A and B are shown apart, each in its own frame.
Chain A
Amino acid sequence: MNADVQLSLKAEDAAIGPVRAMIAVFARDVRVAFRQRQDLLNPLLFFTMVVTLFPLGVSPEVAFLKQSGAGILWVAALLSVLLSLDHLFRHDFDDGTLEQLMLQPQPLFLLVLAKTMAHWMLTGLPLVLLTPVLGLMLHLDGNSVATLCLTLLIGTPVLSLVGAIGAALTLGLRSAGVLLSLLIIPLYIPVLIFGTGTVAAAAEGSPVAGYLALMGAFLFLALTLAPFAAAAALRISLSNS
């Protein structure tokens, strides 16, 4: 654990409010991630490679790609987030930072929320930024790409938040990676359905505001509930080891 964070998270320092603690955790996670840049790059590479597989494996025809491009990009983004979730708590669990966090006077779910937001900024957001390029390669038109980016922007935080529950539950287990996918993929289905559905509606020219509002509802539901579940799961996993 970094010395400066330890300082700013000191239990006896009563002046530290929950918001400042969250900012400290967030900043620390971002800084640690930038020291291991390869970990940041991996999900993006994976995302690109999965997308490449579809034209190769199914069909490079423009009509097919136009029709299923949004679905392909959504599935690939979902898988990349899933792949990166294993790192969300793993390093902190191994070096004991997590136990330190748990001993803080600030509520654990806020700190978990901060960690999850950092995770989203480091994996979900780059995926969204990469999407227009891949969207062009899949022959999506401008309108679809814009809608797709918007749905991913709303959807990927949900993926990170829900995934945090799974990551916390499988922390410290032997086959954590596969198990994590088993637990989390069923919970990702609603986001996937509405994400691709919005793009399909936009391609037909129908209004998308309602769909986006629903995805926003998912996001807020996940924001309010997931950190509690993830914090509870973390406590269980740490009492286990």
Chain B
Amino acid sequence: MWQFFHKLGSPKWFYGIATRFMPWLLASGLLLLVAGIVWGLAFAPKDYLQGNSYRIIFIHVPAAFLAQSIYIMMAFSAVVTLVWRMKLADVFVKAVAPVGLVFTFLSLFTGAVWGKPTWGTWWVWDARLTSMLILLFLYGGVIALDRAINDEKSAARAVAVLVLVGVVNIPIIKYSVDWWNTLHQPATFKLTEKPSMAVEMWVPLVLAILGLYLLFGWLACLRMKTEILIREQRTRWVRDLVLAGGK
């Protein structure tokens, strides 16, 4: 177990593994995502309440899922950075934060466009939308802090502290925004959760979610490899690898 843990911290080992797995991640991710989207767009039945606009769900929900779980993953990495000073953990946080920002933006954007035909307005100060917006701010803060600190090591550790402070706050923010929403708004605008979704609807949704997770895996590997190249370019193994023509 500890040997595995030790290996996991090695950029060289990760670089090799990532290079091996990336084509599979890309192929399976694209396949599942395209299958889910095509199924959802063209073959899934129309929603009896919302009509065809509900088809946005097949990208909206995966994006929102990823937006939230990327932050959680970053929080775990942050703990690893602070406790074990593992190089890969802070490479992960740095590589993945912009991806999380983009997915958060996408879930907000698709939510807003979905809201127009459903609620008749682009934006409501609904609890979920507001907490997503705050998540966007948190991502923005992480990226800004990382860019502002020049020294790599202190940047990694400062960002780790910030991510952890954020993750402690997320439940509090979520709770208070829910509470605020019931105070200020009648509950009519809530995105009501369907008690049971038709199978033809949730199978493509699950496909799209899985596909996007796999594609995120590919993106994370690629961006981490780039970051490793930048950081380790003066080590012998990178030199040997690049001169040998390995990717």
Chain A: residues with CB nearer than 8 A to chain B?
165, 169-170, 173-175, 179, 182-183, 185-187, 189-190, 193-194, 197, 200, 218, 221, 225, 229, 232-233, 236-237, 239-240
Contacts and interface: CB of A to CB of B under 8 A. Distances in A.
A175 B148 contact: yes
Main secondary structure of the interface of B (DSSP, over half): helix
Contacts, number: 75
Interface string B183-209: 100000000000000000000000000
B157 interface: yes
B148 A190 contact: no
B180 interface: yes
Contact of B176 (A170, A189, A200, A221): A189
Interface residues on B, range: 20 to 34
Contacts of A173: 148-149
Interface string B217-232: 0000000000000000
Contact of A165 (B134, B138, B161, B172): B161
A169 B162 contact: yes
Contacts of B140: 182
A220 B176 CA distance: 17
A221 B164 CA distance: 15
Contact of A169 (B158, B173, B177): B158
A170 B165 contact: no
A186 B138 contact: yes
Among the interface residues A173, A174, A183, which one has the most CB atoms of the partner chain B within 10 A?
A183
A169 B145 contact: yes
B37 to A, nearest CB: 32
A221 B165 CA distance: 12
Contact of B134 (A182, A189, A200): A189
Interface of B: 82, 134, 137-138, 140-141, 144-145, 148-149, 151, 154, 157-158, 161-162, 164-166, 168-169, 172-173, 175-177, 179-180, 183
A182 B162 contact: no
Contact of A187 (B169, B175, B183): B169
A240 B154 contact: yes
A239 to B, nearest CB: 6
A232 B179 contact: no
Nearest to A239: B154
B161 A232 contact: yes
A182 B138 CA distance: 8
Contacts of A221: 172
Residue among A189, A221, A239 with the highest chain B CB neighbour number at 10 A: A189
B144 A179 contact: yes
B19 to A, nearest CB: 33
Nearest to A196: B180
A60 B173 CA distance: 32
A190 B162 contact: no
Given A186-B141, A190-B172, A193-B179, A229 B151 contact: no
A190 B176 contact: yes
A121 B89 CA distance: 39
23 contacts: A165-B161, A169-B158, A169-B162, A170-B145, A170-B148, A173-B149, A174-B148, A175-B148, A185-B137, A186-B141, A186-B169, A186-B173, A187-B165, A187-B166, A187-B169, A189-B176, A190-B173, A193-B177, A197-B179, A229-B161, A232-B82, A236-B157, A237-B154
